[in-house]
Amino acid sequence: MLSTFLSCLVVGNFVSGSYFNLLYLIPVLLITFWYMRRHARLERRSIAALKAATEAGMLEPPTLHPEIDPTICIGCKSCVSACPEQDAHAVLGMIGKKAWLVGPSDCIGHGACKTACPVGAIKLVFGTAKRGVDIPVVQPNFETDIPGIFIAGELGGRGLIRNAIEQGKQAMQSISKLLKPGHNNDLDLIIVGAGPAGFTATLAAKLGNMKSVTVEQESLGGTVAHFPRRKLVMTQPAELPIVGKVRFKEVQKEDLIDFWQGVEKKTGVKINYNERVETVVPATGGTGYQVKTNQGEYNARAILLAIGRRGTPRQLGVPGENTTKVSYRLIDPEQYQNQHVLIVGGGDSALEAATSIAKEQGTVVTLSYRSAAFSRAKQKNCEKLEALESAGKVRVLLSSNVKQIDPESVTIALEDGMETIQNDEVIVSAGGILPTKFLQDIGINVVTKWGDE
């Protein structure tokens, strides 16, 4: 009887132990199955995104972007989760258990992926082996190779609003260390440009009681002011001098400009609009610089260049381009109602102009681009354009070049010959000529980055 009891006890314990082991094992198996299924789904999406970008010829990042070392990457997906653009479109993905840049043209240089990587497998670079990017040489403290001249914001290669605001603050910290009591210059600082970086620096200068002047050749906002009407501006929380922390989510261009104008009025900062810098030379008989503008001259100990990368609009160089029907940016789509409009260009600004004007009453919109694919535009803009083209709202002419602009028509060279179309207005969105010569005339070294940090 005793042996039977012991046998039953042993068997019972074995069965009971197996039962409890099974209870623990089932959740582990379920979690493993869920993880593998999720990973497989992410990989399928990543492969599809990379394939779509390849077929569309959209493999060239427009700005600062990650370069991932597959020999170091451990496939943890931290970079994918950290990318702020990931919800809108696939920028980073996982292929073969490694992180990949699957949407290069959608990357706008947040840099969050590098920070999130636990093993240092990511570095941030400018340009690629196929397309170089001109970048002025700037030290970690934002000072150029010309002592006393600093650069912040888009001109340094980082086009994100949040980055520009942060750089404007950090550059001002460096400039404050440079300034010493008793220098013989009229001003401590001249700030050139009133975009996100320049406006932030202007607030910091007022907060620090600096003797400064801010000049802006156009209007408050810099590059942002040139965005099409109602364009959404992706921002994140930012901290402005004097103002403090501001929590932005998804705001339209007009809302952001209105906010900045409100800050300008409330703080009392002064910005000289419609004032363009012409020359910068060393000050006579001491440190600092003599800055000549179209309005006057300034003598300052330091200069902060926050002028962006848009520079002078790139022209087509064709007969008729100097007429009043030709403009180089879109302000209000409504002004083109019931008109035949030609948009020239293949970047985001061109596609956004075409799609916004096409929605207006009575417009006939044609988009001409010299290349065979929109390699510089974001996927969402390409999709909007494709939908409007399918609906007959926009005519897209790839591999085409404008040859002549006449009062009531435009002549365009296509692959199979020339075509003249009816036209009332032309918008050239072919980018800008970088202020490279201006920088080089000052003495600032400009280098071309081909996938370099």
Structure confidence at residue 343 as a pLDDT band (50, 70, 90): very high
Would you identify the CATH topology of the domain 35-125? Answer: Alpha-Beta Plaits (3.30.70)
Torsion of CA 96, 112, 78, 92, to 10 degrees: -30
**Is 313-432 assigned to CATH 3.40.50.620?**
no
Residue with tokens 């906002």: 221
Domains 134-310 and 313-432 share a fold: yes
pLDDT at 30: 62
Q: What is the pTM of this model?
A: 0.66
Q: Is the pLDDT of residue 54 over 50?
A: yes
Give the mean model confidence (pLDDT) for residues 60-85: 85
pLDDT at 229: 60
The amino acid that residue 189 corresponds to is: L
Tens digit of each residue's pLDDT (9 = 90 or more) over 223-279: 776 665 666 555 567 788 888 887 766 667 788 888 889 999 999 999 999 898 999
pLDDT at 404: 95
Structure confidence at residue 2 as a pLDDT band (50, 70, 90): very low
The amino acid that residue 279 corresponds to is: T
Class of domain 134-310 (CATH, top level): alpha beta
DSSP string, 82-144: H-TTTTTS--EEEETTEEEE--GGG-----HHHHH-TT--EEEEBS-SSS-EEEE-B-TTSBB
Give dist(CA 52, CA 319) in Å, integer.
38
Percent of the chain with pLDDT over 90: 37
pLDDT at 15: 46
Tens digit of each residue's pLDDT (9 = 90 or more) over 134-162: 778 888 888 998 999 999 887 766 656 77
Q: Is the pLDDT of residue 360 over 60?
A: yes
Q: Is the pLDDT of residue 1 over 50?
A: no
Domains of the chain, by residue range, sit at 35-125, 134-310, 313-432
Structure confidence at residue 204 as a pLDDT band (50, 70, 90): very high
